[in-house]
Amino acid sequence: ARTGRKIHLEIEPGTYLVANTGVIIATIQDMTDTGADGYRFLKLDTGMTENCRPSLYGAQHPMRVVPRDAAVADTPALEMAYIVSGHCCESGDMLTPKAGDPEALEPRPLREAKIGDYLVIGGAGAYCSAMSTINYNSFPQAPEVLVRADGTPVLIRRRQTLDQMLANEVIAEERG
């Protein structure tokens, strides 16, 4: 009223509304312990290819180990401190950076894990898919599943095949 301008407010609540609506379900493929002065590592079948936010700016995502054996899932377990790494063999393919510092590692307390258990990574609904580094190191684009309000899962994107990945590759003809 003071300036005579009509004010129009627009809000884009993207992350606020949808960040916590998505999870990444990964399988623990390997584990290693670098000793008393080192770390315990969990290596997953996912990483910066599906979620590059931790390596870009130290984003923190909630994580939970879910035992493959459903009978064990609800039993008490030891908590261990783990560094969680992806499958790309890159120094930045870490899902547990220090908060706000993608260059530093920070172990995360998680349920004691075994190879074959699942690691559920939360907060993956807003930008993880849109920011993914699709086909990095020739990893296929991950499938996506939508869970309807009644709990029914629906596949909304299939895992990319090798043929689909290679379809856009072009072999340059040799020049004589």
How does strand 79-85 pair with strand 40-44?
Answer: parallel
Question: Kindly report the CA angle at 61 between 57 and 66, in degrees rounded to 5?
Answer: 145
Strands 97-98 and 118-121: unpaired
Q: How far apart are CA 165 and CA 52, in angstroms?
A: 20
* The two three-digit tokens of residue 153, written as one number: 């899962």
CA-to-CA separations, 103 to 48, 59, 152, 159, 175, in angstroms, rounded: 14, 12, 39, 30, 44
Catalytic residue (choose from 52, 88, 89, 128): 89
DSSP 151: S
CA distances from 55 to 6, 7, 69, 86, 143 (A): 42, 39, 31, 11, 22
Answer yes or no: 52 catalytic.
Answer: no
What token pair was written down for 22?
């998505």
Residues assigned a catalytic role:
89
